[in-house]
């Protein structure tokens, strides 16, 4: 059955308690007197739901976590700067409460007129938040007649503000952001436009193994790039020098290769790599030979594979150009260092230029797409790292499972 969404709600005059993900990066101002937001993407991502509630006359109470204060009131993790930034973005004052529970908060909520917004202080100033303490969840829930969860980035966590509150409020719906994430990371992938191509990269096989396994059945092709490819190459018997590798995952890598064969899924590892003698912009770097059946093409002893090579880029780009749906999670190399960023940039461009439905998993691939100015050319970019992976693995996210049915 479908879950209730924000559009199904009658909100006028009601106190709507909405969990958002305002976990934005902050730094000290130059004179050290205040904290400033360095990237407000997450605030922007919550605007459609916030503006919808304002327009429809809700009394809006927002709550979020920020960083990991671990149950202590630490000024560096205060959401106060977020209230100010949100006020600028919606062009209206945003009230701020010094805590997320307690009498003063109750009073501030009571004072809200229809269409006004109050942001509560960091829910993780209380240890009960991550412990999903029921009494704490009840205190949070007391601020709302209706609950909306629009915090996709924490939807995979069963915390008091994401799941616990739903035990104490009857009407619990998802916001627009969560709805969009589900549309692209779940619904769109039930019947993907074919060929369906999965591109996985990043440092570790272990982070993405479950996604790869879950999608092997459904995908027509899988591309593996980044550091995780070396675990596969070592498992195949090639030299990988000092490249990153998870030795305890070699059997698993072989099993995945075997499964792909059985399922008739095209499984592409980089045809060659860029290897370097050090990890940095000053390193010497060179392309390896193409991997061949005769053991040719491994990474040299004492060198490290840090990007994919030109033949790999060409082969991957060809695969991308013919895809109907692409899901991409994880860079092809150490793209933070220019010298090792060519592969990731080329793959980002190929995905951007393809006619496929392009879905970018959260985290570093989103950072890369933004870095190369290609965001506009992607169908969808997820705001969640862990949450988007868990959704792709086919797992139920507690923050979504707990919402009311329509």
Q: Is 386 a catalytic residue?
A: yes
Coil, helix or strand for 266?
strand
Q: Is 249 a catalytic residue?
A: no
293-301, 331-339, 345-353, 395-403 -> range binding ligand AMP (CB under 6 A): 331-339
135-143, 179-187, 290-298, 328-336 -> range binding ligand AMP (CB under 6 A): 328-336
Is the Cβ–Cβ distance between 116 and 95 less than 8 Å?
yes
Tell me the C-alpha distance between 148 and 122, whole Å.
17
Single residue of 364, 383, 387, 399 touching ligand AMP by CB under 6 A? 364
Tell me the C-alpha distance between 245 and 197, whole Å.
24
Tell me the C-alpha distance between 51 and 176, whole Å.
11
Tell me the C-alpha distance between 44 and 40, whole Å.
6
Single residue of 21, 179, 207, 319 touching ligand AMP by CB under 6 A? 207
Decide: is 343 part of the binding site for ligand AMP (CB under 6 A).
no
Single residue of 168, 180, 204, 371 touching ligand AMP by CB under 6 A? 204
State the number of binding residues for ligand AMP (CB under 6 A). 16
**Cβ within 8 Å of residue 277, ≥6 positions away:** 283, 284, 285, 302, 303, 304
Site string for ligand AMP, 62-101 (x = CB under 6 A): ----------------------------------------
Which residue number has the CB closest to ligand AMP?
Answer: 202
104-112, 201-209, 317-325, 374-382 -> range binding ligand AMP (CB under 6 A): 201-209
| Start-to-end Cα distance in the chain | 7
Cα 387-78-134 angle, rounded to 5 deg: 60
283-291, 332-340, 347-355, 394-402 -> range binding ligand AMP (CB under 6 A): 332-340
Contacts 24+ apart (CB under 8 A), 366-372: 368/331, 368/335, 368/344, 371/335, 372/345, 372/348
Active site residues: 42, 204, 363, 386
Kindly list the residues in this chain that would bind ligand AMP in the complex (CB under 6 A): 202-204, 207, 226-227, 244, 305-306, 330-331, 333-334, 336, 363-364
């Amino acid at each position: 059955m479908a879950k209730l969404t924000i559009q199904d709600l009658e909100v006028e005059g009601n106190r709507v308690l909405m969990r958002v993900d305002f976990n934005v990066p902050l730094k000290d101002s130059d004179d050290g007197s205040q904290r400033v937001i360095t990237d407000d993407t997450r605030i922007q991502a919550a605007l459609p739901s916030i503006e919808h509630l304002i327009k429809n006359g809700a009394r809006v109470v927002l709550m979020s976590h920020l960083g990991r204060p671990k149950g202590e009131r630490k000024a560096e993790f205060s959401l106060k700067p977020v209230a100010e930034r949100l006020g600028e973005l919606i062009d209206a004052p945003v009230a701020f409460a010094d805590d997320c529970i307690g009498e003063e908060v109750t009073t501030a909520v009571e004072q809200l007129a229809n269409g006004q917004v109050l942001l509560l202080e960091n829910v993780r100033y209380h240890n009960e938040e991550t412990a999903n303490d029921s009494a704490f969840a009840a205190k949070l829930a007391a601020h709302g007649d209706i609950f909306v969860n629009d915090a996709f980035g924490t939807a995979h966590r069963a915390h008091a503000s994401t799941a616990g509150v739903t035990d104490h409020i009857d009407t619990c719906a998802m916001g627009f952001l969560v709805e969009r994430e589900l549309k692209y990371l779940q619904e769109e992938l039930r019947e993907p436009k074919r060929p369906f191509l999965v591109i996985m990269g990043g440092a570790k096989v272990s982070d993405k193994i479950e996604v790869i396994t879950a999608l092997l059945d459904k995908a027509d092709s899988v591309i593996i790039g980044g550091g995780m490819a070396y675990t596969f190459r070592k498992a195949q018997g090639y030299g990988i020098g000092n490249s990153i590798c998870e030795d305890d995952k070699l059997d698993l890598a072989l099993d995945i290769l075997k499964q792909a064969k059985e399922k008739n899924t095209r499984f592409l590892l980089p045809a060659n790599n860029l290897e370097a003698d050090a990890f940095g912009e000053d390193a010497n770097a060179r392309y390896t030979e193409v991997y061949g059946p005769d053991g040719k093409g491994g990474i040299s002893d004492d060198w490290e594979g840090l990007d994919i090579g030109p033949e790999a880029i060409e082969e991957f780009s060809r695969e991308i150009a013919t895809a109907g749906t692409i899901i991409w999670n994880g860079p092809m190399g150490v793209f933070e260092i220019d010298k090792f960023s060519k592969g990731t940039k080329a793959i980002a461009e190929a995905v951007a230029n393809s006619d496929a439905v392009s879905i970018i998993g959260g985290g570093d691939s989103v950072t890369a797409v933004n870095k190369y100015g290609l965001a506009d050319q992607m169908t969808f970019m997820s705001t969640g790292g862990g949450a988007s992976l868990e959704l792709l693995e086919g797992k139920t996210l507690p923050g979504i499972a707990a919402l009311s049915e329509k």
